[in-house]
Structure 1
Amino acid sequence: MFDEEIAFEVDVRLLPTWRRHARIVASFDALAIGEAMRIVSDHEPRPLKGDFERLRPGQFVWLQSMLGNDIWEVLLRRITESPIETLAHLLARSALFSVAKATTIEALERSATRREIARNESLCEQGTPWPHLGLVLRGGLRAIVTSPLGREHALYDVLSGESFGILDTIDGGVASARLIGITESTHVAIFPRSVVRTILQDDLRVARAVNAQLAQRLRMVIDRFTAQTSLPTIGRVATALLPHASPAAGLSKALPSLDGVTQGDLAVAAGTVKEVVNRSLAELEAGGAIERIAGRIVRLNRESLTQIVANAFPGEAAG
């Protein structure tokens, strides 16, 4: 959304994963304040974002897009030399409001309500009125839908700097999914639907950002649906583990985002049940894709997990 300001592009698809992050961080450090770079990768760049939040906190705007199978783009803008934790600054760093007018930021600040959500605590329930748009300030949420038979399916995650409640804000309907915390403590800001709708009429750049975010959510849901209807169970479990895998070579310590993730969480992400997940984890461990200590996953092999997903085929019975 700031194409005119792109200073250069870094396509890391031909680089080994363990060499990518250092190359990208070095390129980011070469940017002047206000300049941006485009990153092209072949997997979801959640581990890279985690590195930036740890190494360059408060110094970037992150706009992430899934453009197709195994094609991900990140537009990364350098904005400040030191972290600032005011709500205005966090709004200006977010995917929806990084291009907002000053009057838009002011209106959001005036109307904001802050909440703190514990792991697995519900922020809103599927099918209930929830007239708000929200922004994750720190931590993360997961959107989950429940089938008539009671099985839960994860749709997508909402990470720091990302928004939720967009669909419900646009069409005025009830909450399309249940939102739960996926970190020990998730901080959010929520804004009344009426305020956001007024902003969308007045701030065309924010309206365009909302359209882009809705398109991304649809792509993510289609991708998740395709995986759950075509991949065998082991492929779906491997897919659920990949965002927590380090880019380092071989079996490497899992990223902090895996801390606290249970077999029940993996079952929801993979669209199956805990007993089936346990069998898949045993198979992954036997193949050297993961390592467990006392039942807890401590190390992951990104290359092995990626290969399992790539080689999975529709033919095994779904779990």
Structure 2
Amino acid sequence: MPSSVGRVHTPIDMRSLPMSARHSSVIAAFDRLPVGGVLELASDNDHKALRADLVMRRPMEFLWDARNMGSQRWVIRIERVDASVEDLEHFLTRCAPFANVSREVIARVVQVATERNYRAGETIFDEGEQWDYLGFVRSGRVVFTLLSRDGKMQTLLERFPGDAVNETPVFDGGSTVYRCEAMADSNLVLIPRDEVLRACRQDPELALSFLVASSQARRRSISTIADLSFAHVLQRVAKWLLNYTGPGEGLTPGLLGVERLSQAQIAAAAGTVRDMAARALIRLRDSGAVELERGRVKKLDRAILESFVNNIEGTAV
């Protein structure tokens, strides 16, 4: 992780906090940080919902670096940054791979980088394309998906501001390994592949950061394979919906516009078909885990969803 030597450093053990107090406790601690200060969270999960909450409440004010250390141990580093500086050079320093890279290297990257806007639903690139850029989400949100020959879709990952896009082809020279689509109106910073490779040769910190990112991607892949192999559809749907649960106990409004997700999108995220996802949603509704309105998720109960993820609640769908 980026160095925090000489900075205000506040450790928080998320596992010791009541579920309903986690988001508010972290946001309050974050607001007390000076620019450059760091929160380091110890947790048993990646807290995607917390990140989504921060994106809405404190946009462009933080650098997020979450790492899976194995055996349900996560270390999440949240650094407060100066949101008033909006130039491209400062944006890149907020992206985890560039956090400790020399200013000279970043300045040269900025000279060749470009920006492009994408509308919600627009394809950024398809699986199997030759897309010779490393992208960083500057605003908005994008999603990675795979499409089978029979039309079945699998959602792999969502990416938020500061996250990288298309790392694998940049380093192995091959084609894109997934389809990338804007989930919301988005702006991406595009860095040519040759410039990324040159910068990595010039600054070992950048190369090391991408090695760490590659290792984390492998851990995610193994986790996804395990879910698809061993977890039933009900568990997978519940696990995906956990990413959209807000703070508080009981049924609470979902984050990031979960109510706009179609059943087909939820099915893609859970690696199943729409009918199976619909059955799972009905089961979750009947148990009080979600509130549906015209088939769309409106509210969620984190505790009940977690009981399904942990296979405590009843039989499989």
- TM exceeds 0.5? yes
CA gap 1:222/1:301 in 2 versus in 1, 3 angstroms: same
For 2:304, the equivalent position in structure 1 comes to 304
For 1:178, the equivalent position in structure 2 comes to 179
Deviation track 1:236-281 (CA, whole Å, cap 9, x = no partner) reads 1111111011121011011124142111111111111111111111
For 1:95, the equivalent position in structure 2 comes to 96
CA drift at 1:133: 0.6
Cα distance in 1 for partners of 2:202, 2:67 equals 25
Structural mapping, 1:53-68, within 5 Å: 53-68=55-70
CA drift at 1:71: 2.8
The answer as to whether partners of 1:134 and 1:189 remain within 8 angstroms in 2 is yes
Cα distance in 2 for partners of 1:206, 1:150 equals 38
CA gap 1:303/1:169 in 2 versus in 1, 3 angstroms: same
Structural mapping, 1:185-200, within 5 Å: 185-200=185-200
Q: Give TM-score scaled by structure 1 length.
A: 0.92
Please list every run of 5 or more consecutive structure 2 residues that lacks an aligned counterpart in the other structure. none
**Secondary structure of the corresponding residue to residue 255 of structure 1:** coil
Deviation track 1:133-174 (CA, whole Å, cap 9, x = no partner) reads 100111222211223443222222221111011111110000
Cα distance in 2 for partners of 1:202, 1:22 equals 41
CA drift at 1:50: 2.7
Count of equivalent residues: 314
For 2:15, the equivalent position in structure 1 comes to 13
Of 46-55 and 249-258, the range deviating more from structure 2: 46-55
Q: Give TM-score scaled by structure 2 length.
A: 0.92
CA drift at 1:312: 6.2
Cα distance in 2 for partners of 1:46, 1:14 equals 18
Cα distance in 2 for partners of 1:89, 1:172 equals 28
**Secondary structure of the corresponding residue to residue 67 of structure 2:** strand
Cα distance in 1 for partners of 2:71, 2:265 equals 24
Over aligned residue pairs, what C-alpha RMSD do you find?
A: 2.0
For 1:248, the equivalent position in structure 2 comes to 248
Moved over 6 A (4+): none
Please list every run of 5 or more consecutive structure 1 residues that lacks an aligned counterpart in the other structure. none
Cα distance in 2 for partners of 1:277, 1:76 equals 34
CA gap 1:232/1:289 in 2 versus in 1, 3 angstroms: same
From 28, 48, 54, the counterpart of 2:50: 48
For 1:124, the equivalent position in structure 2 comes to 125
Of 217-226 and 164-173, the range deviating more from structure 2: 217-226
Cα distance in 2 for partners of 1:110, 1:165 equals 20
CA gap 1:152/1:55 in 2 versus in 1, 3 angstroms: closer
Q: Determine what percentage of the aligned residue pairs are the same residue.
A: 27
